[in-house]
Structure 1
């Protein structure tokens, strides 16, 4: 830093090492262990918004899972994304870790309603969001069993105008990261 006129210091040293099979296995196991410790973000629906969310979450310190029953839509998701093809996405909701975030953006309103109800039933969710409008939220509230106060719908409500999937994803990612940070801060305070 100082040699090039930057006020922040520090140096980086790179070391390249060729790994044998044992070293590769150890590195893979270490990475798997690191991923397990990250907060889960379940993206339910691999359509245009779900895929944009998968791209947006990819470089962030979360374990994003893109879940859909349509293999052809999951195949269009970015490489490196954890993809789960299942006819029962609610089962993935049930086995998610405590403090997970749930983003519901499927191809059917009825499926959105069922999955959102399932996510809201979890009392340990850091975030529950459903794609839609104020009208969709009102319809969901008239249908839902139990409270819907924790539901973010419409998601990215602070944003007006540009409805491109990538723009929606950017705002939703910000909402989710704020919720995860808040939930993590609360955990630390409770310890």
Structure 2
């Protein structure tokens, strides 16, 4: 969610806007530090976790609409204060923005459009480093068959930059999700251009192509994890062929095959896709660097 673009648009249309940011959590909380909502007279975008906390924050943000720039801090014990079962504590910053603040908002929106950036000490009284803009892991999906199509739909609403590769141009649908780019050339080109930390999931129409892609992906140090659709038998065959091809044994051992999270027996493409999407989320969280966190809290002042 590009928060500064949303704020700029709301100010341009209505003259004011508000933003709710989670600035600190203690114990169990519905969202992490850095979660945000943008609130305007038209409604709101984003979530800080729902429930009574979100409704109270929305009411406070709506109360600041139409007012000059100001910041309200809210500290809530989720159990005693709000009756939520989480049991933790959450600190929020609720900010209002008006037309006088528009140049700074537009400058931040321009930086946001170019990618990830950080701001330190932006909120008065809050000692924190905030990350804005896209900081999304690249997910490479090879194959536009039934499972590939289902996986693309499962990833559509998740914060990943997805490259969907298949040499059969006619296999792609007419429209794709906003976070997906289709590639109809040779899939090895996608492997070669992978960004550092990319995840590769291979499920093409051809076992020979799967093996070729797996070998190339495992040899590319930029690709953090490589998954291949298949069975234990396919894995054993691929392991032997990859060793014969001179692929690093440690990388072969780390290859994910079969793909997907355990405990799901269904072979329906949509079920497999949900299982793999869950695995993508788990891998992303395990690999994420601190620079990709929404807010690094250094302590609240005052």
SS state of the match for residue 161, structure 1?
Answer: coil
Deviates more, 1:55-64 or 1:122-131: 122-131
* 8 A contact 2:232–2:257 mirrored in 1: yes
The alignment status of 1:58 with 2:103, answered yes or no, reads no
Instruction: Single out whichever of 148-157 and 102-111 deviates more from structure 2.
Output: 148-157
Aligned to 1:176: 280
Aligned length: 172
Secondary structure, counterpart of 2:287 in structure 1: helix
Structure-2-length-normalised TM-score: 0.51
Higher helix share: 1
Match of 1:46 in 2: 144
Structure 1's unaligned 5+ residue stretches are 1-5, 15-26
1:7 maps to which residue?
Answer: 52
Q: Which runs of 4+ in 1 moved over 4 A?
A: 27-32, 185-188
The reply to whether residue 33 of structure 1 matches residue 33 of structure 2 is no
1:152 is matched with which residue: 256, 262, 265? 256
Question: What does residue range 84-163 of structure 1 map to in structure 2 within 5 Å?
Answer: 84-86=183-185, 88-144=186-242, 145-146=246-247, 147=249, 148-156=252-260, 158-163=262-267
* SS in structure 2 of the partner of residue 126 of structure 1: strand
User: Deviation at 1:36?
Assistant: 6.2
Task: Please identify the structure whose Cα radius of gyration is greater.
Answer: 2
TM-score normalized by structure 1? Answer: 0.79
Q: Does the CA-based 8 Å contact 2:194-2:222 persist in structure 1?
A: no
- Cα distance in 2, alignment partners of residues 69 and 28 from structure 1: 36
**Cα deviation, residue 30, structure 1:** 5.0
- Whether the 8 Å CA contact 2:261–2:279 is kept in 1: the answer is no
Higher share of residues assigned strand: 2
**Quick check: 1:165 aligned with 2:264?**
no
Matched position secondary structure for 2:263: coil
Q: Compared with structure 1, are the counterparts of its residues 31 and 48 closer, same or farther at alpha carbon in structure 2 (3 Å cutoff)?
A: farther
Unaligned 5+ runs, structure 2: 1-50, 66-108, 117-132, 293-302
Aligned CA RMSD, in angstroms, stands at 2.7
TM-aligned CA deviation for residue 127 of structure 1: 1.9
Conserved 8 A contact 1:120-1:150: no
1:22-51 deviation per Cα after TM superposition (whole angstroms, max 9, x unaligned): xxxxx7995463686311000011111111
Alignment CA distance shift 1:175-1:108 (3 Å): same
Equivalence for 1:23: none
